[in-house]
Structure 1
């Protein structure tokens, strides 16, 4: 069986380092790729240089959260914020092109109701249209109600319906095992059933969002199941290390 590949999410791992140095640390640790949350404070040229130096690929990045002083966590489902949401999408596409990043997670934000649903759909159509000429996939990710209460997108069922409604070939699901387990569970069957629309898979222990070598999810089983499904892209290690990141990486060998 082929070795499972892993991507280091630098939004949580090696956060004490600059983004280029975190890329170098991920390469030294043996990761196959990297991904990030909001890289915009770092010049894209510096990230591209570190990627070229290490031979790693940046798999994905997020659109900006908005005004974090007001508690915003994404803009694309917020009525009356369409201009800001599309500026964030344009910013993400520009950065992704400069760093050869193939996936952009368009963050919905805290919203509810029909107007929010319509707004999110319209902004996703815009994102898919703008991203398609550059070979970029748009991802949407359900977040659990413990970490993100009131987030517009909260289940894989909701995400699946949106993807079906829009019918854009470059709109996919970000399946985060941590969020899905806390919200819906049944990871094995959901991975099987949703595989055709999955664009990226992430993981962390449940319930503490730590390294995957403990908690209620049997990740050796999950990783083997993902391999058996024929999914070969790197899986995103989006967990919060307790202390030094390097001290938490024993799972890379044991799992």
Structure 2
């Protein structure tokens, strides 16, 4: 059975986060996830999650300065990165989040970036272990995020294997990985033991997933057959009001 998670960084983004959680529940989503919820009282978020019965799958560490897209791989910024990681785990623990997505940042080509990211991920893994949570790392495609540290699932897998911490897993975003070479079923299957969450959106528009070059009605069951068992995160930018564009849910479920 296919289940969907609503990424509330994009879906119902005009609403306060607790209200967006309620709308996701009413629309039939099985879970929710978010980007940067820190301006919203964690108690109000926890109340909305309890009311709807939806789990919060993940939240992101903060982005840093404009264009940085994260802090954890930026040499010389370790103090800020660890403050952001601690903030995310403290907030996530209050709302029962399963994962913190630790954003690496625009560090590609910088000397020491990989070592910096590994050290900060080890710090995050300690917090994850202490809070009964996990850590996600996500490769972002070079078209949308040209300077981001990692762009492919293969790069992320090499990092996760090098770190060798069970708390740290890959966020496999079909949108990003289709742009970075496609062959999504084989590439997820090759790293299925390292994948903690899967997201999806139309390619190339990143809009509702019932359009574009990827047939998700076929792909999502194939990814389940390849070994992924969790909810699929709908992280797309609605081309119209969120509620008006939800017809894709039934189309994909068939």
Normalising by structure 2, what TM-score?
0.97
| Structure 2 counterpart of 1:52, from 43, 50, 53 | 50
Q: Distance in 2 between matches of 1:9 and 1:189?
A: 25
Q: Which runs of 5+ in 1 are unaligned?
A: none
Render the CA deviation track for 1:18-66: whole Å, top value 9, x for unaligned.
0000000001110000000000010110100000111111000000001
Q: Distance in 2 between matches of 1:231 and 1:208?
A: 25
| Structure 2 counterpart of 1:74, from 61, 70, 75 | 70
Aligned length: 251
Structure 2 counterpart of 1:223 = 220
How far did residue 230 of structure 1 move?
A: 4.2
1:93 is paired with a residue of what secondary structure?
Answer: helix
Structure 1 counterpart of 2:3 = 5
Structure 2 counterpart of 1:88 = 84
Structure 1 counterpart of 2:61 = 63
Contact 1:5 1:232 in 2 (8 A): no
Structure 2 counterpart of 1:24 = 22
1:220 is paired with a residue of what secondary structure?
Answer: helix
Shift in CA distance, 157/229, structure 1 to aligned 2, threshold 3 Å: closer
Contact 2:150 2:156 in 1 (8 A): yes
Contact 1:110 1:152 in 2 (8 A): yes
Structure 1 counterpart of 2:13 = 15
Q: Distance in 2 between matches of 1:147 and 1:204?
A: 14
Q: Distance in 1 between matches of 2:181 and 2:170?
A: 15
Structure 1 counterpart of 2:112 = 115
Contact 2:217 2:251 in 1 (8 A): no
How far did residue 114 of structure 1 move?
A: 3.9
Render the CA deviation track for 1:130-179: whole Å, top value 9, x for unaligned.
21121111110000111111111111111111111110011100000000
Of the structure 1 ranges 223-232 and 46-55, higher mean CA displacement relative to structure 2 is found in: 223-232
RMSD: 0.9
Please state if 1:243 is matched with 2:240: yes
Render the CA deviation track for 1:98-118: whole Å, top value 9, x for unaligned.
000011100000012341111
